[in-house]
Amino acid sequence: MRKFCTDEPRQLCAMVGDTAPSDRAYSAAPASMWESAQQKLALTIIMAQLIGPFIYWPVALFLAYKSTFMMGFMAAYLVYIFVLDNTAHMQPQGSAPIRSFKFWRHLADYFPAKLHKTADLDPSGNYIFAAHPHGVACMSHTANFLTEASGFSKLYPGISLYPLLLDSHFFAPFHREIALRSGFRGISRQSCLNLLTARAGSAVFLVPGGAAEALLSQPGTCDLIMMKRKGIMRVALQTGASLVPVLAFGETSLFDVAEPKPGSFIATCQQLIRRLTGFAIPLIHGEGFWPNAKAFAPLPRALPVHTVVGAPLPVKRWQGSHDSPEFTAAVDALHAEYCQALKALWNTHKEQYAPRPPPGTPVSVLSNGSVCYRRKSLEFVQ
């Protein structure tokens, strides 16, 4: 297995300058310890929600075990979420007060994460925002789209955005209520169809690379799993929703990811967990809760991430059969067109938001303080 810090020299761990993790410098230090504490609290809350089913199910079972009253309450609650109200995550109804909490600005300020618009969106249309790359934990995507930390609604007035999560989030006790009141919805095909045909101005947000792409994340790279990701094209053709490519420059530099040898015990466990749960469990090293933390560093690095939202790719609603060879050919053509648009977005903005490091820059340097460096260009690896 590759170590988190290599010997050449600790090239994957230093942030600014050729320094070791214990004495690395920060280019954008928070204004105060209080500000830093709020930022890390926001990060911790968000990261806990992203793996919510692994947290809330044990809590619910423990409460049921400790109290007869809670056992009865949990039994009734499970009937409610699994039987009586098991489609709430597929419907557009409901408000999202949690998503608009001002507290989430600390999440964007931590990196900082910035959202850049390249084109206006017509509120009379519907849209599918597809974001790349996944990175380890979609941290910049969370700040920009799962919350209002970057002011999405002000940049795109009239657009009702529904971030999509795995359906398992909506069958975890208590976590389900938080997800629904944050505006999240399920990622199933039927959920997408419901949301995109409900009313004008509806949009969904998803990260096509998914858990498999998280395991490929490495600093300075943009390796995408996209060649077989055609589900969003099918939904776009079925609904007539425009495709909006999104690229986050710097997302993959927020963590180091250890690469276990193919076929090893750890690699086998990672793949098994991903197949069973839909979640990836990469071995990561980022930033600690306190300065110079070495052994336990589960938070992302405080590096700048610039997310560029491209122009929408218009899609004409398919009127024929969705099982015909013609529909399959239309999906393939739209997939190729989208991939070209994604490459064009990368080529247009890579020098501004992910430049090559200046000649002679040590490999350990990941950022110049305002942008993250790239070590290789965007590549469709699968």
Q: Over the stretch 138-187, which tens digit does the pLDDT of each residue have?
A: 999 999 999 999 999 999 999 999 999 999 999 999 999 999 999 999 99
What is the chain's mean pLDDT, rounded?
Answer: 86
Position 361 scores a pLDDT of 87
Three-state SS at 310: coil
Q: Over the stretch 70-123, which tens digit does the pLDDT of each residue have?
A: 999 999 999 999 999 999 999 998 889 999 999 999 999 999 999 999 999 999
pLDDT higher at 7 or 234: 234
Backbone φ and ψ for 98, nearest 5 degrees, come out as -65, -35
Distance CA 85, CA 107 (A): 32
pLDDT at 195 over 70: yes
Distance (Å) of CA 62 to CA 59, 74, 302: 5, 11, 35
Mean pLDDT of 21-33: 47
Position 152 scores a pLDDT of 95
CB 355 within 8 A of CB 374: yes
Position 272 scores a pLDDT of 82
List the structure tokens of 368: 């110049």
Position 297 scores a pLDDT of 73
pLDDT at 28 over 60: no
Buried b (16+ CB within 10 A) or exposed e, 275-308: eeebbbbbbbbbbbeeeebeeebbbbbbbbbbbb
pLDDT at 16 over 60: no
For residue 260, name the pLDDT band (cuts at 50, 70, 90).
confident
Distance CA 369, CA 63 (A): 46
Position 282 scores a pLDDT of 75
Distance CA 250, CA 138 (A): 11
* Percent above pLDDT 90 for the chain: 65
Provide the terminal-to-terminal Cα distance of the chain, rounded to the nearest Å: 22
Q: Over the stretch 249-258, which tens digit does the pLDDT of each residue have?
A: 999 999 888 7
Which of 42-56, 198-212, 276-290, 350-364 has the weakest average pLDDT? 276-290
Q: What residue spans define the domains of the chain?
A: 28-380
CB 300 within 8 A of CB 108: no
Position 303 scores a pLDDT of 92
Q: Over the stretch 282-336, which tens digit does the pLDDT of each residue have?
A: 777 777 777 666 667 778 888 999 999 999 999 999 998 998 999 999 999 999 9
Which of 20-34, 44-58, 192-206 has the weakest average pLDDT? 20-34
